[in-house]
Structures are given as C-alpha cells and as structure tokens.
Amino acid sequence: MSILILTALTMALANASPTAPAAPRTAAPWRRWLAQAGLLGLAGVLALPVLALLAAALGWNAASWEALRAMAATTLPGYALTSVALCLGVGVAVALVGTATALAVTVFDFPGRRSAEWLLLLPLAMPAYVTAYAYTDFLQFSGPAQTWLRDTFGLQGRVLPEIRSAWGAAWVFTFTLYPYVYLLARTALSERAAALLEAARLLGAPLGRRLRRVALPMARPAIAAGVALALMETLADYGVVSYFGVPTFTAGVFKAWLVLDDRVAAAQLAGLLLGFVALLLALERRAQRRLRFATQRPGRGGVEARPVRLRGAAVAAAWAVCGLPVLLGFVLPVLFMLRPLLDGWDVLPWRAFGAWARNSLALAAAAALLATLAALLLGHAARRLPTPAVRLAVRTVGLGYAVPGAVVVVGLLLPVGWLQARAPEAPLAGWVTATVLGLLWAYLVRFTAVALQSVESGYSRLPRSFDEAARTLGHGAWSLWRRVHWPLLRRSTLAAGLLVFVDVMKELPATLVLRPFDMDTLAVMAHQMARDERLGEAALPALALVLVGLVPVLLLSRAMRRGDPHAC
C-alpha cells in the first residue's frame, strides 16, 4: 500500500521543471571512500536475502537437482499453475475495476463525485487477510448467509460456493488491491484527460470514441503499473492463501521450510518466486517511465476543460460503479467482522489484546525509526556524493519493498543456518532467531524502500541552489543538513515514518516466523485465531489493524481534496 501511495503522491514531480544540478562539493578522498564503503555495507546488509538466494542458486549440486526434480514431479506444477491463474484473474479484475472507477470520477461529473474520490481509497486500509477472514465468517457453510438461505427457502446442504478456494482468493485480492490501479490511473487522467476530451468533443468525436481513443491510451501506462503492483502483492501474500488453502509459491515456501524441513526446496521455491516478482517489477518500472512521459502537463486548460456532467440514470450507474468496490472491499468486511466481535464481547481477551498491541506498536515504532534514519542517510549521501557506488547502494535498497516476506525469511535464515552449522558457538544465530533483532532486520529489508522513496521525494523538491548558497556562507555538511535540509524534509520524513509504521503493523509472513516466542503481535494473533476458527476473537486485532491502516488513507484523501500532492 505504501509504495502505491508514495508513487501517486510523487507522480506530479514529473511535471515540475528540473533544477539544474550543481556540482557537488569535493570531499576529502578518504572521507568519500569511507562514506561509500559504509553505504555499500548498509546496502549489502539490506540486500542479504536476495544475495543469499543467488548464492544458493549458484551453489546447486546433485541434491539440489534431485529436490527440484522431485518438486517438478509433485508440487511445483500445482504451485506454478495456481499462482499464474490467480495472477491472471486478479490482474484482469483489478484492471477493470480500477480503470472503471478512475474514469468515473475523472471523466464524468455527478452528485457525490468528490465523496467517491476518497471513498474508493478505503480498501487500502484493509489487510487482505482481514478481508478473507470477514468473508469466510459470513459466507461459510455455518455462516449467517447460508444459514439464513437454508432456513428461509428450505434448502439443504451447501447453498453458496466454497469461499476458501482460488476464486475466493481472487475475489479478496480484487477488492483489496483495485486501488493500486484506481489511484495511479486517476492521477494520470486528471492531468490532461478533461482538456483533451473537450478538444475531441469540439472536433465532433462521440463520447465512446473519446474514451476509447483519448482517455484509455493516456491511462494505459498507469493501468499497467497499477496491475504490476497489485500482482506483486498477490504473489507476496501469505495470509490469504494459507487461510484459504490455495497452493501458491508463497504457501509452498513456508510449507517446505516449516512443515517438511526442506531448506533446499524452500530456497528453490523462493528463488522462483523472486524471479516472478522481478519480472513484474521490471514491468512496473517500464510503465512508470512511460507514465511520466504521458502525464506532462500541457499548460492550464480553460474553463471548458471540465468533466462530462451526468444526469438521470447515468448518475445511478456512476454511483454503482464507484459504490460496489467500496461496499465489497471495505464496508461489508468491516460489518462482517463487527458481528462476531459484538456477539463475543463478553469473552474477548482484552488483557492479551493489550500485550499484542504493545508488541505491535513497539516493533512498528522501532522499525519506522531505523528505516527513516537509514533513508535519511542514503538520501543525503545520494545528494552529496552522486557517484556510481552511491547510486548502486540507493537502488539496491530501493528494491527491498518488492521482495516478498517469504523470500526475506528464507534469505535471512539460509546464511544463519550456514553459520550455525560451521560455528555452533557463534551468538549471531541466536540473535536473529531468538530476539527482535532478526525481526527488525527483516522489516528493514522490506520497508526501508518505503521511507527512502518519501525522502527522495522531499529532496527532489529541494533546489540544489540552496546547498550552494549555504556553502557560500560557510556551512559544513552537518550544518547544511540541520539548518537547510531538515526543516524542508520534515514533512516527508514524518510521512516516511508513518507509512513504515503502518506497514510493519500489518506485516505477517516475516513476523510469523522470526518473532520471539513471547512476541505475539496483532497480525500474528489475528491469523492464528482465524486459522483456529476463533473468528470472534480474531475480529478484535483485525479491526485494530484496519483502524491503523485508515490513518495514511485519510491523509492521502485529504491531500487529494486539497489538490496538493505533497500534503502527506
């Protein structure tokens, strides 16, 4: 979610006139070398999971090939086919829903359009696994929906299809992830669509042709980028697929490692999953480059550049297009979770909930602080020392968010297992697997990229002439950062910390495996209680996570209403 929000908020930067970069001040050679060595070391630590998997791939032997052949004959085809089918279904569905809603609120004008613009963002606050728990509780065989249908119409047996299936997972992902397409497409269309559609109308083009020949081609790069982000989230998900019993690569990684205790198979599956994600990431980056070109602001349009006003039945159709995704992706899941919560109010584990909340808040605050500090360090270094080594370090760290949690877990535990086998007395293995250090390490691997993108967004709005003026007045590097950069980066830094905080609160795969035994969190307990069919108790931590997720969504909607893309 955070990468989507940051991407949408920084797309407007492409429209600003670039400031000519000033030549950086030459530092002492030993200081430059020391700084670059430190940044490369930090990047190496954060890139360790990927490096460990690459090392495992390069070190294949007879046992590795035998494990791969065994998987190819048993589980691998199922993992691959299910993952591909799920991605195809989710990709088509989020493209349709996201594009339709973006067109509705951008191209057309109808009563309530302003409200629909921010209401369509609400599913961003719903973790996908919480939506899965909600629909399962309501639609399963013993749930209220099927019970009411059997009692009302005298039916027998199962009335509705089984929600715990691949199609159920696709349903959950569609109405949880469609904002990835909606927000990017809406941001792209809002730049030029109204003016160009008005020009096409003046040339005599009917509405259907204007949408087909003008609006959709403009939105195509944004749609591709949003679909790629949604598919990366789909492939990285563990909570939904494990709860629904869908055999995807992520579920296979955890099964191979935790159930079968086969580290070779887990590493191979994680490597294949990382390859799929790398392809999607390349597609997303390519689409983002095309999107920046397609959304160059042509100049301010006149008063005629307005959306098409709808009347009568068309207004109802527009509200149906905008209202159904919000209803299915946010309103109904929240109501479904409130029912078991209220029914079991007297037996809710309030004391334990307080401990889970404290653990979640402590981990999220620590990870947000460390990730933000690392992002500030990298962002400042990239500005002061724009050398190839520094750019490599920044780009390496920036890829962390695309690495699925299952890959992070395997990539961290592989070198730990290797070290423990060769040096049993070394304390590093215990620090990683028995304390919060390993968990914080995993969080930094995944979420430093979120903070880094926000900090880089802040630096991109800070002219380099400020640096030169400060140096002319005799300010050194520390004084420059403290008196010039920090006051102007404060809002971007706060946004970075907030987004990392929310993402860590909701993170499940790495927390589930790497947490210490006495470190249960809201996300972990919601998952475990739902898996044990204790959905009334699971509703309490699940809804708490939804409330936390609403914070950045409300800030984003506020920024959209003000028309300020940097208000967050």
397 contacts 452 by C-beta, under 8 angstroms: yes
pLDDT of the chain along its 568 residues, tens only? Answer: 555 555 544 443 333 333 434 444 445 566 667 777 777 888 888 888 888 887 776 766 777 777 778 888 888 888 989 999 999 999 999 999 999 999 999 888 899 888 999 999 999 999 999 999 999 989 988 889 999 999 888 888 888 888 999 999 999 999 999 999 998 888 778 765 666 766 776 777 776 777 777 777 777 888 888 898 899 899 889 999 999 999 998 888 888 877 777 777 888 888 888 888 888 888 777 776 765 554 444 444 444 456 778 888 999 999 999 999 999 999 999 999 998 888 777 777 788 899 999 999 999 999 999 999 998 888 888 887 777 877 877 887 877 777 888 888 888 888 888 887 777 777 777 787 778 888 999 999 989 888 888 888 777 777 777 777 777 777 777 777 777 778 878 888 888 888 899 999 999 888 988 888 888 999 999 999 998 888 888 889 999 999 999 988 888 777 766 654 434 4
Residue 28 has a pLDDT of: 58
- Closest by CA to 13, choosing from 232, 288, 386, 283, is 288
Chain length of the chain:
568
Whether the CB-CB separation of 275 and 317 falls below 8 Å is answered with no
d(CA 303, CA 308): 13
Q: How much is the pLDDT for 480?
A: 74
CA angle 478, 484, 486 (to 5 degrees): 80
CA distance 350 to 356: 10
CB hemisphere CA count around 257 (13 angstroms): 26
Hunting for tokens 């609160």 — which residue is that?
Answer: 505
Contact 318, 253 (CB under 8 A): no
Q: Which residues contact 130 (CB under 8 A, 6 or more apart)?
A: 333, 337, 526, 542, 543, 545, 546
Q: Three-state SS across 519-538?
A: CCCHHHHHHHHHHCCCHHHH
Q: Report d(CA 269, CA 254) in Å as an integer.
A: 10
- The Cα-based distances of 227 to 92, 130, 189, 238, 251 in angstroms read 8, 21, 16, 19, 22
CA 468 centroid distance within chain: 37
Closest CA to 118 of 34, 183, 215: 183
> What's the gap between Cα 121 and its chain centre?
14
Element (H, E) at 178: helix 166-202
Q: How far apart are CA 550 and CA 554, in angstroms?
A: 6
- Which residue(s) pair with 109 in the sheet? 309
Q: Quick check: 230 and 181 in contact, CB under 8 A?
A: yes
Instruction: Name the CA radius of gyration of the chain, rounded.
Output: 25
Please state, in angstroms and rounded to a whole number, the distance separating the CA atoms of residues 505 and 522. Answer: 8
Confidence (pLDDT) at 409 = 86
State how far the Cα of 537 lies from the Cα of 291, in Å rounded to an integer: 44
